[in-house]
Homo-oligomer: A and B are copies of this chain.
Amino acid sequence: MAISFAERTKSMKASEVREILKVTQRPEIISFAGGLPAPELFPVAALQEVSAKVFKESGSQALQYSTTEGYSPLRQQIARRMNQKFQTSVTADNILITSGSQQALDFSGKLFLDKDDIVLCESPTYLAAITAFRTYGPKLIGVPTDDDGMIIDELEKLLKIYPTAKFIYVIPDFQNPTGRTWSVERRQELVKTAAKFELPIIEDNPYGELRFEGAIPPSVKSFDTQGLVIFTGTFSKTFCPGMRIGWIAADKKFLEKFVFIKQAADLHTSSISQQQLSKYMDLYDFEAHIRQIISVYKVRRDAMLSTLEEYFPPEAKFTRPQGGLFTWVELPPKINTSDLLEHCLKSNVAFVPGNSFFPDKKVENTLRLNYSNMPEDRIQEGIKRMAAVLKK
């Protein structure tokens, strides 16, 4: 006899990004590796004020156990904002409050995935979604993408090979890691294809509101007539990540099951945090706060793109995101970005090699750069250092 773990634990290993982040916490390192929002923009004073108000007005109730679904006024505020920003037509009854959108991804795996089930996703895609889904033992199949999003013909081909696929996972706005945004046509085609195959879509949208130019396109969920799109959102990028508040917006047939999952997983998300956030949205101008984040990140993105343009070799391709936190660099095939990272660390600059973001293949010549977490001069300095390493 011996201690015996569940089979799912075999896929558990430290995330490469987390390991890199540990190394890059030294202050002398310019790190483009993380995905941290700018902490100087967190509304600390406002939160302190609303926090005091919540303690005064409903302290003991806000500290008691509460409903699994979440704080009703917050669910209403989320539904209202989603409908305004993403052209959906959801109500508070469609909303479950989660502990960040990471929990929404974990729950999606828990709801749908048995061992060896098929998940279709963009290639590359969000690393922590891969990790969350892998807990449940599926096979992740990457669908080829271009600058307009997933190539729907390729998706249809794969659905003929894998007709029992459980769901499609997509990040249509300022995708992590590429920074790309899907065209409206692709969104419509995706919903049509999903309806044809009666296939749920997980639409992960953590960055959509952080758009530096142009209008927010209609979400995939806005085209959803069959209730197949499960939308996951978060306040981590528009408010703060430390409070761990995200949500799932979904048709009742999914939402009631997510509620059971939430109940068994952790009963409910912090009731006091939910009330504080809700009160903040009541008393402060949340849209003005988001505009402030946008104005700061836009300047940082511009600094990164112009420095890349000027200093990186002409063979290097990179995306020009219209919002969000990341750009994506493709270097000539001969360059291995894991090796490059080692050299860059000697010059005190860091990034995430792209390979981890590919669900089912090795791609050695790409990398992800974050621009939200430091001022322009550091961004310029870091990109110049990377360019110098690349030259050698």
Contacts and interface: CB of A to CB of B under 8 A. Distances in A.
Interface of A: 1-9, 12-15, 18, 36-37, 39-40, 42, 44-45, 47-48, 51-52, 55-56, 59-66, 68, 98-100, 102-103, 106, 110-114, 117, 128, 131-132, 134-136, 163-164, 166, 197-200, 228, 236, 240-244, 253, 257, 260-261, 263-273
Nearest to A199: B1
Contact of A39 (B8, B60, B166, B242): B60
Contacts of A13: 260
Nearest to A99: B266
B263 A15 contact: yes
Contact of A131 (B64, B264, B272): B264
Contacts of A113: 6
B42 A100 contact: no
Given A5-B111, A6-B111, A40 B60 contact: yes
Given A36-B64, A128-B264, 5 more contacts: A6-B136, A48-B52, A102-B264, A242-B272, A243-B272
4 tightest A-B CB contacts, nearest first: A44-B59, A63-B240, A48-B55, A39-B60
A243 B270 contact: yes
A373 to B, nearest CB: 10
A270 B270 contact: yes
A59 B36 contact: no
B44 A241 contact: no
Contact of A12 (B98, B241, B261): B261
25 contacts: A3-B228, A5-B111, A6-B110, A12-B264, A15-B263, A18-B68, A18-B263, A36-B64, A40-B60, A44-B60, A47-B59, A48-B52, A51-B51, A51-B52, A64-B241, A64-B242, A65-B242, A66-B242, A106-B265, A242-B271, A243-B270, A243-B273, A265-B265, A270-B273, A273-B273
A152 to B, nearest CB: 17
Contact of A270 (B4, B63, B244, B261): B244
Contacts of A103: 265-266
A264 B132 contact: yes
Contacts of A135: 110, 261, 264
Contacts of A199: 1, 3
A63 B102 contact: no
B4 A102 contact: no
Contact of A267 (B61, B163, B244, B271): B244
Contact of A106 (B14, B200, B264): B264
A40 B40 CA distance: 37
A289 to B, nearest CB: 13
B12 A257 contact: yes
Given A5-B112, A55-B44, A200-B3, A39 B12 contact: no
